[in-house]
Every structure is written in structure tokens, then in C-alpha cells.
Amino acid sequence: MANGSYQERREEIETYFDRTAADAWRKLTSDVKVSRIRATVRAGRDDMRATLLNWLPADLTGKRLLDAGCGTGALAFEAARRGAEVVAIDVAPTLIQIAQERTPKDLGPGSVHFEAGDMLDPAHGRFDHVVAMDSLIHYVPADVVKVLAGLAGRTGGSILFTFAPKTPALAVMHAVGQLFPRGNRSPAIVPVGPDRLRALLAAEPALAGWRAQRTKRIAVGFYTSQALELVPA
């Protein structure tokens, strides 16, 4: 993959979510009152999480699941309650700390192992399912495809991920974001057209044994993201 660009962007994301945005992310992913704008982002993320969980088997007993970009752990907890052995990885140690603090005492038959690190680290082993919710939206499309190709080599079942669909509304929000002082900016989201993304996926040799299946776009206020399911052909 374009290793340099992936690594550089990954470091930017780690710095932002581990320092600048850690407190805001703690509040956003809790039930405390937030601004109307952030409330729409929270609602959109809740809808997206429910969509991805709905695409996973209801019974995950004995299955290994990688939560790639787990944030504060909400999806990982739900997967564990279905019986999954969840490996939950995030680049930001602060978010991992929050997730560990929020871990329920009883996750039922499943388990969650949280770790700050790289979702592509082969040391994490093989998985039955991979979920990457809003963790690839800051990377250029070519790197997104290479990340998915790397994950596919260690996945036996589905890969569920989200991307930022190229829409006029997202273009406006991106432009507004550039008005903020550089130190206060989040890493830019990189929108991509769904057709172009599918073409890039189809052209990647390492994904030749995979096909794109279900897709769903969630648009709630200031949150817009699109889910796509990859399954073995």
C-alpha cells in the first residue's frame, strides 16, 4: 500500500483523537447533553452502529471479530454480548482508556480485548469478521483499498466498513472546516464516490476473491457516512 501516506495520516489521527479531541469524544459517545450539531452526529453514529451490527450474525459464539478503530467501545461491547471474542483496536490510547473504563462487568459469553495500535498489525491474528466504522474516512481511497486488502488476507467472513460518500453537503462541511485554525482542525475527511470506490475495490488483485454486497447511507444532520459489506465471492 502507499505506506508513507497511510502512516503519516495514521499519526495525524492518533495525535488529534488522543489529545485535541479526547474530551469531546468522551462526551459525544456518552449520554450527556451536547450541542444540537453534535447531537445529530451522535444520532447518526448510533444508526450506523445499529446497521453494522444488524449485518453481523445474531449469534457470534466462538467467532473472532476485529473492531478496527473501536473508539470508546460501544460496538465491541454489543458484539461481545452476542458471544464474540472481540479484538478492539484504536490508534488513540486515550480512547482505549475510556473504553476500558466503560467495559461492562458482565459481557455475557463474549469478551473484549482493547489495545492501542495499528489495525493492520498481523500480530492480531485471523478473524471471522472485521468491522471498521468511520475509521477509514480520513484516508485517501487508494489507501482505504489497500487497508481492506490487508484485512481481507486475515478474514474468513465479512468485512464491514464505512466511507464518506462524495456529496454536496460534505463538500460544504469540508470547506467550512478549512476556516478553523490548523491546530483545531480534525484530520480532513476524504469523500469518495460509491461507484469509484467499487471500481477501485474490483481492480485490487488482493480482493479478487471478494465482492461488495449490502450498502446503506446514513445521513443525520452533520453526520453522513455510507456502509459497505464485503464478503468472500
What cell numbers appear for 141 in the block?
481511497
Give the pLDDT score at 56.
Answer: 98
Digit-coded pLDDT (tens) for 138-191: 999 999 999 999 999 999 999 999 999 998 766 665 555 554 445 445 678 999
Give the pLDDT score at 179.
Answer: 46
Rounded percentage of the chain residues whose pLDDT exceeds 90: 85
| 75 CB-near residues (< 8 Å, 6+ apart) | 49, 52, 53, 67, 131, 133
Rounded percentage of the chain residues whose pLDDT exceeds 70: 91
What cell numbers appear for 202 in the block?
474490483
Contact 29, 74 (CB under 8 A): yes
Across the chain, what does the average pLDDT equal?
92
How far does CA 11 lie from the centroid of its chain? 16
Which residues make beta-bridge pairs with 232? 210
Give the pLDDT score at 215.
Answer: 98
Q: Is 55 exposed, middle or buried (0-12, 13-18, 19+ CB in 10 A)?
A: middle
Give the pLDDT score at 181.
Answer: 45
Q: Is the pLDDT of residue 109 over 60?
A: yes
Higher pLDDT, 45 or 22: 45
Digit-coded pLDDT (tens) for 201-225: 999 999 999 999 999 999 999 999 9
Contact 71, 94 (CB under 8 A): no
For every residue of 20-61, DSSP letters joined together read: ITHHHHHHHTSSS---HHHHHHHHHHHHHHHHHHHHS-S--T
Give the pLDDT score at 138.
Answer: 94
Helices (H), the chain: 3-15, 22-28, 36-55, 74-81, 93-102, 141-152, 168-177, 194-203
- Considering the entire predicted model, what is its pTM? 0.92
Digit-coded pLDDT (tens) for 115-146: 999 999 999 999 999 999 999 999 999 999 99
Q: Is the pLDDT of residue 4 over 80?
A: no
